[in-house]
Amino acid sequence: MAVMREGDIRIPSGCAIAAVISKEGNKMSGQAIMESMKPMHDRSNGLGGGFAGYGIYPEYKDYYALHLFFDCRATRKECEAFLKERFEVVKGELIPTRKIPEITDEPIIWRYFVAPLRSVLADLQLDEKEFVARTVMKINTEMNGAYVFSSGKNMGTFKAVGFPEDVGRFYMLDEYEGYCWTAHGRYPTNTPGWWGGAHPFTLLDYSVVHNGEISSYDANRRFIEMFGYKCNLQTDTEVITYILDYLLRVQGLTLTEAANVIAAPFWSTIEGKTDEYEKKKLQYLRTVFPSLLVTGPFSIVLGFDGGLMALNDRLKLRSMVVGEKDDKVYIASEEAAIRVMEPDVTNIWAPAGGEPVIVTVKEGAY
């Protein structure tokens, strides 16, 4: 049986996102973020839910944690043989799940903690991250029935077809502890829901949860595929993930600069800037990366090693609220979701369109 892939059908959305991070690097179980999705239940339709947790694998923090879906045992065996040619695999295991009636038809779900083989890296003259990214692309493009849905260090994504609160219970996220969590409830608009098509979308330690539907997908895809990325799922979130990986990791832009590329201010807004340096820089970024401007509605949370960034499209066609309490910062599509996690939240505010909210964990605390 081949795994059903997305893309053959377009289904004419709403989604829910949420995130929490401790600036002190304090660990939280996945329980709170699961609870946060409950008041936003009606923003999803049961065709996808998922979470990303950062700092959840401290005992294997120097190894890439690959999470994979397989359609059958034979595919798993084939994929494992492929991995062993390229990586030292220090551990491979079934990802523990809880049987619940709300989640059915699950694929085979495994995780591997791996380190690229030095000899292979030297032979290919690639740095470690590029090698891992290329391997992920290779498996997802060429190996039918296998799909890598998480590939960062000391982080992991967990996703499925179902409502997010059920997906969290299925993966037993109450038993993991991390300093940052993001979450997504899906209401697919253009593609049928498949396990791999649920959010977060990830590459290396970058994960993206997204509410919206971008109208620049094909322009963005054509540009980003020139740099070796393969958009396999025809979903807009996948392309946003690869754009951010390209701008941040490959091009070395800062988070704010990357935000100014994908949610670039209008030319008229740039023209009105009084700070000449800022004006020049915004003009430069729009001129160099015009094909990476993401138009149409989106609110996203990008998770990365040691922090997160929340961002709305420049017209703010989706809602997003931020709140704080002590060492924690909360982000969600609705204030109600934040109040579930922290009833006494303070400083609730809504960032403007295109205004990135960047939260990082104190150095050395993650």
Partner 1 sequence: MKVDVTKLGYREVNEKLRECGSECTLTGCLGQRFIAAGMADREITIEGTPGNALGAYLNGADINVCGNAQDAVGDTMNAGRIVVHGNIGDAAGYAMRGGKIFVQGNAGYRAGIHMKAYKEKVPVMVIGGSCGSFLGEYQAGGVIVVLGLTKPGDPERKIVGNFPCTGMHGGKLYLRSNGEGIAFPWQVTAKPAEEEDLAQIREYVKEYCELFGCDEAEVMNAPFTVVTPDSRNPYKQLYVAN
Please give the angle made by the CA atoms of 179, 184 and 190, to the nearest 5 degrees.
150
* 118 C-beta neighbours (distance < 10 Å), count: 10
Residue type, position 12, single letter = P
Binding segment (CB under 8 A) for partner 1, from list 107-115, 172-180, 192-200, 336-344: 336-344
Residue spans of beta strands (DSSP E) within 39-107? 49-54, 64-70, 87-94
User: How much is the CA Rg of the chain, to the nearest whole Å?
Assistant: 19
Query: Rule CB under 8 A: is residue 316 a binding residue for partner 1?
Result: yes
Catalytic residue flag (residue 72): no
Query: Rule CB under 8 A: is residue 40 a binding residue for partner 1?
Result: yes
Strand order in the sheet with 321-325: 155-160, 49-54, 180-185, 16-22, 328-332, 321-325, 346-349
Binding segment (CB under 8 A) for partner 1, from list 161-169, 227-235, 345-353, 357-365: 345-353
Query: Rule CB under 8 A: is residue 359 a binding residue for partner 1?
Result: no
Binding segment (CB under 8 A) for partner 1, from list 111-119, 210-218, 282-290, 347-355: 347-355
Query: Rule CB under 8 A: is residue 339 a binding residue for partner 1?
Result: yes
Tell the smallest beta-carbon distance from residue 340 to partner 1 (Å).
Answer: 7
Size of the site for partner 1 (CB under 8 A): 21
Query: Rule CB under 8 A: is residue 47 a binding residue for partner 1?
Result: no
Whole-angstrom Cα distance, residue 279 to residue 74?
Answer: 56
User: In the complex with partner 1, which residue's Cβ is closer, 223 or 330?
Assistant: 330
Tell the smallest beta-carbon distance from residue 196 to partner 1 (Å).
Answer: 29
Q: Measured in whole angstroms, how far is the alpha carbon of residue 199 from the centre of its chain?
A: 6
Query: Rule CB under 8 A: is residue 97 a binding residue for partner 1?
Result: no
In three-state form (DSSP H/G/I as H, E/B as E, the rest C), the secondary structure along 159-221 is EECCCHHHHHHHCCHHHCEECEEEEEECCCCCCCCCHHHCCCEEECCEEEEEEECCCCHHHHH
Binding segment (CB under 8 A) for partner 1, from list 37-45, 86-94, 180-188, 207-215: 37-45
User: In the complex with partner 1, which residue's Cβ is closer, 43 or 249?
Assistant: 43
Q: Where in 162-221 is the site for partner 1 (CB under 8 A)?
A: none
Member of 42, 102, 127, 218 binding partner 1 (CB under 8 A): 42
Q: 50 forms bridges with which residues in the sheet? A: 159, 184
Query: Rule CB under 8 A: is residue 23 a binding residue for partner 1?
Result: no
Member of 85, 101, 352, 363 binding partner 1 (CB under 8 A): 352
User: In the complex with partner 1, which residue's Cβ is closer, 261 or 337?
Assistant: 337
| Residue from 15, 79, 180, 231 carrying the catalytic annotation | 15
Tell the smallest beta-carbon distance from residue 278 to partner 1 (Å).
Answer: 16
CB 313 within 8 A of CB 307: no
> Which of 269, 315, 260 lies closest to 289, judged by CA?
260
Q: Measured in whole angstroms, how far is the alpha carbon of residue 363 from the centre of its chain?
A: 22
Tell the smallest beta-carbon distance from residue 321 to partner 1 (Å).
Answer: 7
Per-residue tokens: 301 = 């949370």
Q: 206 forms bridges with which residues in the sheet? A: 203
User: In the complex with partner 1, which residue's Cβ is closer, 285 or 321?
Assistant: 321
User: In the complex with partner 1, which residue's Cβ is closer, 83 or 359?
Assistant: 359
Q: Where in 250-279 is the site for partner 1 (CB under 8 A)?
A: 266, 268-269, 272
Whole-angstrom Cα distance, residue 42 to residue 203?
Answer: 29
Per-residue tokens: 345 = 């939240």
Binding site for partner 1 (CB under 8 A): 39-40, 42, 266, 268-269, 272, 315-316, 319, 321, 334-337, 339-340, 348, 350, 352-353
Residue numbers annotated as active site: 15
